[in-house]
Amino acid sequence: MKFHDLTIQEMRQKLRAGDLTSVDLTKACLERIKATDGELNAFITLCEDEALAAAAEADQQIKAGNTGMLTGIPIAVKDIFNTLDVRTTCGSKILDNYISPYDATAVIKLREQGAVIVGKLNMDEFAMGSSNENSAAGAVHNPWDTERVPGGSSGGSAAAVAAGQVVATLGTDTGGSVRQPASHCGVVGLKPTYGRVSRYGVVAFASSLDQVGPLAGNVEDCALMLGVVAGYDPADSTSVDCPVPDYLENLNGGVAGKKIGLPQEYFIDGLDPEIKQAVDAAIETYRQLGAEIVEVSLPHTDYSVACYYLIAMAEASSNLARYDGVRFGLRRDSGEGLTGMYQQTRSAGFGDEVKRRIMLGTYALSSGYYDAYYLKAQKVRTLIRKDFLKAFEQVDLLLTPVAPTPAFKIGEMVDDPLQMYLSDIFTIPTNLAGTCAMSFPCGFSTDGLPIGLQLIGKPFAENEMLQAAYAFEQATDWNKRVPEL
């Protein structure tokens, strides 16, 4: 069996039994990346020397019997996580040579559990995009069809797992940026409840929406990754001091007797027929597993995309003001004064999509427009959250599609940003509501492209959501398929 066919649990067993060393595993991982990344472009930075040194240390720890949940296992993280002494670019020219002086809390937790971090993954610039085409490092290609997008903004994170470059990754999800790529690449991706995982050290896009989430090849590995990074962090003022369950121990809970709601607003006319067919088949599978299927309503769903883009762009405008050429990152200065230096630096450093969002966000926050746009969007956000909480009084979980279509071709929507924004129509509401959600494979299109199913859980009910996803995965074989590279 090749290393990239193994799960995290299988790697752990082989490492502990002495059938495999972390150095051998890491070398095989690096070779796989070098052999396939010319097609995929999933990595921005490869940390070869650092990874092999960490693997050698992991082998010593294993021999000494000091093992964590991920000791010796190669992992990669989205290039939005600060990593000590390794550059963090966020897919942007403005941070091309920025070397972080510290680790993000999620990265610290990976290292504490023994993970070997092999590199930083490609992404839409500052996580702004749904296709991973908005990257200064170039577009990421979908392993199932390299002419298609992998989804975004965590496209590199999903593509790397799907291609067997690494067994699991970390991404971030601001409006669907873990779940949509997971769906398009046929892997499992989870957005935890806002506050469940620390955002400290994650470069901010929209601070009230951003959330760290794991991607993996199956539900069990995703649950393990979530357990590693979840938990209270006093360094993050939005982190919630809430007990973290043992997600692995509770995976076998099943769905018998559970009520699963179908929000009528998510089953729209524009939904691709093959997506609808796969989701309908998944609903029937849940019925056979003993779940009760109930129709529910989330009446303010139609406002979610407009609401999201006002809030996200306004927060992006504020967060990205720090990239001014003074403190860190790119600096362009032709001697035309401070304002000239700002203009030259930001014009050269930011891509078109980031500039678009900064300008729209600045406009929404400007004097005379704040109440009409940003404040009103926050009020609508409250209504959207209330919709979810009301629905969860009737049901345990919600079931929806992840994306309205399978992965589209690279360049297909690049000149139509509004159409691109609509590709997140089913994932955005949960970010506004702050609740948890995940994507996992439920079928394939006639073109051989993966289709994901979304489960949405109550706030801090990741445990219940993972149980339901695991029950579906055990009853089907969609996650067993892998792309040929």
Q: Is 188 helix (H, G, I), strand (E, B) or coil?
A: strand
Residue numbers annotated as active site: 78, 153, 177
Strands, DSSP E only, in 192-337? 212-216, 259-263, 292-296
Q: 383's torsion region: left (phi>0), alpha (psi -120 to 50) or beta?
A: alpha
Question: Model-level pTM greater than 0.85?
Answer: yes
The CA-atom distances, in angstroms, between 57 and each of 105, 200, 224 are 21, 26, 22
> Contact, 89 vs 136, CB < 8 A?
yes
* φ and ψ of 281, to 5 deg: -65, -35
Could you read off the pLDDT tens digit of each residue along the chain, which spans 485 residues?
Answer: 578 889 999 999 999 999 999 999 999 999 999 999 999 999 999 999 999 999 999 999 999 999 999 999 999 999 999 999 999 999 999 999 999 999 999 999 999 999 999 999 999 999 999 999 999 999 999 999 999 999 999 999 999 999 999 999 999 999 999 999 999 999 999 999 999 999 999 999 999 999 999 999 999 999 999 999 999 999 999 999 999 999 999 899 999 999 999 999 999 888 999 999 999 999 999 999 999 999 999 999 999 999 999 999 999 999 999 999 998 899 998 888 999 999 999 999 999 999 999 999 999 999 889 999 999 999 999 999 999 999 999 999 999 999 999 999 999 987 787 778 888 999 999 999 999 999 999 999 999 999 999 999 999 999 999 999 999 999 999 999 999 98
HSE at residue 375, side-chain half, CA atoms within 13 A, is 7
Sheet with 436-444, edge to edge strand ranges = 43-46, 116-121, 74-78, 168-172, 212-216, 188-191, 436-444, 450-457, 397-401, 259-263, 292-296
Q: Look at residue 1 in the predicted model and tell me its pLDDT.
A: 55
Among all chains, which residue has been given the structure tokens 């070779």?
A: 31
Longest dimension (CA), the chain: 71
Q: How many CB atoms lie within 10 A of CB 296?
A: 20
| Superfamily name with CATH number, domain 3-249 | Amidase signature (AS) domain (3.90.1300.10)
Q: Which residues pair with 260 in a beta bridge?
A: 293, 397
* Domain parsing of the chain, residue ranges: 3-249
Residues 6 or more apart whose CB falls under 8 angstroms from that of 106 comprise 77, 81, 170, 197, 198, 201, 202, 212, 229
**295: which 2 tokens?**
């129709």
